[in-house]
Structure 1
Amino acid sequence: MADSLLAKLGDLTFTAEEQDAVVVTHNAVAILAEDFASSLVGKVVSPPTIDGSRLIRQFCSIWKDDKVLSISEINSNFFLISFASPMNRTNVLKRGPWDFQKYWFALEQADPNQTIHDYSFQHMCIWVRIHNIPLSLMTAALARVLGASVGKVIMTDTCLEDGNMGEFMRVRVLFDTSKPLRRCVVLSRPDAKASMCPLQYERLPLFCHG
């Protein structure tokens, strides 16, 4: 709505009175910036409009141990989420991606200087499994190199929960959801035949940027 209104205003000529700026003191009218330090904004990236009240009930229950204070529906599919501390907010981000009715519930840190239209919700942080790696190369160093072909590497994991080396490496990456999902990476070595390494995304929700 706001985008279309701004586009229409771009074709108009304004009077001198309309162009006079209204000067305000930020601290007098704004919510304190500290209040945003423990907040997230979220959007369900889905074609249909979702039931906001149902989403609020669901995630208040899921995040109760992370001391969520409130979830407010700002606009259709768009929410402001407040936590008791920045640590609680960070814990929720680390455990993502989240979904609602199988659609991606994208989260970003709240910025006091942005409008709801400034958030792109374009990047997802997710664990990716890299298969078909020779045992001698199951290292965190190679996981970082191969993971960088998918997105920005956040952390790596080359062992299963019991401490044994698994049949794949895991790497947590931040990737651009506006691009097609990468399905494999080719591992090339001077002393061996190149091999194709399939990629498997963990807990990948449905999402649409169409």
Structure 2
Amino acid sequence: MEEVLTEKWGKFSLNEDENEGVSLDLEEIAPMVQRGRFCLIGKLLADRIVPKDFFKVPLLKAWRPKGTASFQVIGGNLFIVDLEYEEDKDRILAGKPWLFDGNLVSLAVFDGLTPPAKMNFDTEAFWVCMYNLPLACMGKETGQKIGASVGVVQEVDVEEDEPGWGEYLRVKILIDLSKPLARGRMLHVHKQSLWIAFKYKKLPKLCY
């Protein structure tokens, strides 16, 4: 749909009145921006249009907001969630990624200035489990370095200056969904090369 609109816009010519347009300053839209401060914009990344009532109840059950939460469709599988409390918004964002029927529900913070059709849902944060690491490499700095080769590291699941010894090292990484999913990385350390395999938590259908 967006590509069709872009093509039509390229062939569109404006008359003088249309081109002059209407100007708005931030003070005029400030009340609406403030109104949306606890809102989230969501997109269900599915290969079909899913009615709001199908995914609303499962998401609310998973999120368990303390206050009210109202859903409004703003186009296709795109919707806005109006939450009563900021703590609910923060907790939902911290719990990403969220899935419905195996499909990713991508969430973005309301900014009020971006048209829904231009919002970017091409990235999402996933917990990546890194296997076959030497014990001396299961620390915060190593997790950050390997994770940075995949995407933007948001968190390494170890305490500061403490080892993350275990079956794997867990790193939360913001990943570009338009690129092939990384299966792992070769690690070169002390004259040896090791294959570090990745496993992803709560991986949606689109990533397969």
Q: TM-score, normalised by structure 1?
A: 0.87
- Counterparts of 1:58-73 in structure 2 under 5 Å? 58-73=58-73
Contact 2:99 2:202 in 1 (8 A): no
The aligned amino acid for 1:134 is: P
1:60–1:68 Cα contact (<8 Å) kept: no
Please list every run of 5 or more consecutive structure 1 residues that lacks an aligned counterpart in the other structure. none
Q: Which residue matches 1:49?
A: 49
Q: How does 1:151-190 map to 2 (within 5 A)?
A: 151-158=151-158, 165-189=165-189
In structure 2, the partner of 1:137 is: 137
- Residues 113-152 of structure 1 aligned to structure 2 (within 5 Å): 113-152=113-152
Considering only aligned residues, what root-mean-square deviation do their CA atoms show, in Å? 2.3
Contact 1:68 1:81 in 2 (8 A): no
Structure 2 unaligned blocks of 5 or more: none
Residue range with higher mean Cα deviation, 97-106 or 77-86: 77-86
Answer yes or no: is 1:204 the counterpart of 2:199. no
Q: How many residues align?
A: 204
C-alpha offsets along residues 72-125 of structure 1, whole Å, 9 cap, x if unaligned? 111111110122233321211111111111111111111200111111201111
Is the contact made by 1:151 and 1:175 (CA closer than 8 Å) also made in structure 2?
yes
Distance across 2 between alignment mates of 1:179 and 1:166: 29
SS at match of 1:96: coil
1:103 aligns with 2:120: no
Once the two structures are superposed, what CA deviation does each residue of 1:148-181 show, in whole Å capped at 9, x if it has no partner? Answer: 111111111248xxx9831110000111111000
- Residues 195 and 24 of structure 1, relative CA distance in 2, 3 Å threshold: closer
The residue that corresponds to 2:87 in the other structure is 87
> Do the aligned residues in 2 keep the contact of 1:129 with 1:171 (CA within 8 Å)?
yes
| Helix, strand or coil at the partner of 2:185 | strand
The SS at the match of 1:32 is: helix
User: Structure 1's 151 and 25: CA in aligned 2 closer, same or farther, altered over 3 A?
Assistant: closer
TM-score after normalising by structure 2: 0.87
Rounded to whole Å, the distance in 2 between the matches of 1:30 and 1:138 is: 47
- Asked if the contact 1:60/1:71 (under 8 Å) is kept, the reply is no
